[in-house]
Structure 1
Amino acid sequence: MTEPSRLIVLAGPTAVGKGTVAADVRRRHPEVWLSVSATTRAPRPGEVNGVHYWFVSDDEFDAMVAQGELLEWAVVHKAARYGTPRGPVDAALTAGQPAMLEIDLQGARQVRENMPEAVLVFLKPPSWDELVRRLVGRGTESEAERERRLETARAELAAESEFDVTIVNHEVHAAAEQLVALMVGPVSNRSD
């Protein structure tokens, strides 16, 4: 029988590059299973249903919550809801696949409660100024949305100590390789 795998939970402030790092893992390490979250927000340009997120209606999300189908879920940026479908996570871990969730801070806290054996990884920006530059550079949010996300990011940065490991996202490939190494190697609290 295959040994169950370790679940890595990647979280950090908005615009730190979680999605970019996760995409790099997906591209360079096809053996790693990455969860696809469900969300009630509208797709951004270029996002594909079932690849980037499962885009669902509020009613569909309510049904998933009521039926216990989500490992975690939260309202993010005081707007849309996001959640991790539980079944695919359990199946990947049982099959022994290296597995990773890319979620927000609230979700990471719920995973800690529901799966205490998961390794929580905090992805940190090199500096506050760099985080602001990345958020503004995306050009996908209105000014009001950027301000809301920056307010959220300040609170999220203060939660770093709740995580098992911190990785500073100086460079995407290096951060992705550190994540993959955590899936198979020993876990020690380190910050780069």
Structure 2
Amino acid sequence: MTGRHDACILAGGLARRLGGRDKPGLHVGGRPLVERVAAAVPGAERLIVVGSRRPGLPGAIFLCEDPPGGGPVPALRAGMTEVAAPWVVLLAADLPFLTAEHVSALLDAAGTGAVLVDEDGRQQWLAGVWRTAELARALARYEGRSLHGLLAPLAPARLRLPGAPWFDCDTPEDLRRARSSEPGTPAQA
């Protein structure tokens, strides 16, 4: 394993495609999505959640981005204020199939950073690991709103892992697929 790390879970957002529902609080496999994601980072020294306070995450540090609902870059800026470890695991709060083994593989692969790629080879910017100092420097000089614009120049390792750890629940159909799947493998479309 690469070493000491904190975890920053982005759990805000408006969930427009889910009708404004509390996406991190939606249950898959009997647990809220955000708790499933938090369980994938058991070795994190700090668990930082940018979003609403959650009773199932004792010990987590909860923050809000400025402006609220401002998107992933302001949320990441907020979360980074609490990161102290040399590495930060950056995750969305809606990854039902992510496991500690996937996070370990990302940590092992990271140079400056590492991100999961989906079955089409697209980087999943909210499923990655970053060297804290490099990410902080990039954030300090970045004025855009896109995670791709912020993170792609850091040239992360790209990891394709089994079990669809990159699968997220953005739509009602995604949520149905996650709920009807065996643990670790999304249902076939």
What TM-score do the two structures reach when normalised by structure 1?
A: 0.32
Which protein is bigger by CA-based radius of gyration? Answer: 1
Kindly indicate which of the two structures has a greater share of residues assigned to helix.
1
- Higher relative contact order by CA 8 Å / sep ≥ 6: 1 or 2? 1
